[in-house]
Amino acid sequence: MDPVTAPIIVRQLGRLDYQKVWSAMRDFTDTRQADTTDELWLVEHPPVFTQGLAGKAEHLLAPGDIPVVQVDRGGQVTYHGPGQIVAYPLIDLRRHGIGVKSLVHGIEQTVIDVLSHYDIKAERKLKAPGVYVNGDKIAALGLKIRKACSYHGLAFNINMDLSPFARINPCGFSGLKVIQLCDLIPDCDIHTVQNQLISSFCKNLNFSSHPTSVAV
């Protein structure tokens, strides 16, 4: 028997300032009620480095003119910029009947499944959340759980300027190579990939989506 799917509102937000979206995620999580429908936010950010709770200053090599934001997610430092799909799952884990490990696994599998559409074999790594292709990182993952509800999430590199990753040790790993989908599939379309990501996310985490473009 197929598992029963729960509704989720998918918001495609376009390009928004990182701190505005971070603030909105926290507000949503702090004010949500027991019957609040879960949401998935898809967004691009202007250039920004974000440093997680475990972040160490030595992993910020030369941020230069790109702002650094200290945030409340897990993990180390990463970069967000135009051409990257950022997906924020705002889920009541207890109500949905999953734990943090299952959420992480489901998000990683979502990206792995999207890449399989392009005949790209991807994998996860033990103790290094994210998705990798031949050892190179194509998607980063960092979550915050508050009151059994998730926010923050996934950054999937599609067609962006990767040079800022050279200014940091990505996710705290010196020498880690960061790649993007267009390096492997030159004619990939970010909007198509975003729709594939939504579909795969809902399948892997047992949601039925209700897309909307309403701003946060």
Is residue 74 part of an annotated ligand binding site? yes
Say if strands 6-15 and 207-212 run parallel, antiparallel, or are unpaired: parallel
Q: 68 among the known binding-site residues? A: no
75 is in an annotated binding site: yes
Angle at 86 between CA 143 and CA 66, to 5 degrees: 95
Q: Which of 116, 201, 202 is nearest to 154 (CA)?
A: 201
Question: Taking Cα atoms as reference points, which of 85, 206, 208, 74 lies closest to residue 146?
Answer: 74
Residue 77 labelled as part of a binding site: yes
DSSP single-letter state for residue 81: -
| 154 among annotated binding-site residues | yes
- Does 73 show up as a binding residue in the annotation? yes
User: Which residue from 45, 36, 41 is spatially nearest to 11, judged by alpha carbons?
Assistant: 41
114 is in an annotated binding site: no
Cβ within 8 Å of residue 25, ≥6 positions away: 41, 88, 90, 151, 152
141: annotated binding-site residue?
A: yes
Token reading at 115: 């890449």
Residue 130 assigned to a binding site:
no
Q: What are phi and psi of 153, to 5 degrees?
A: 160, -120
In the residue annotation, 182 being an active-site residue is answered as no
Q: Is residue 210 marked as binding?
A: no
Backbone torsions φ then ψ of 36, nearest 5 degrees:
-65, 130
List 171, 182, 188, 202, catalytic entry = 171
Indicate the annotated binding residues for substrate. Answer: 73-80, 140-142, 153-155
Indicate the annotated binding residues. Answer: 73-80, 140-142, 153-155
Give me the active site residues, please: 171
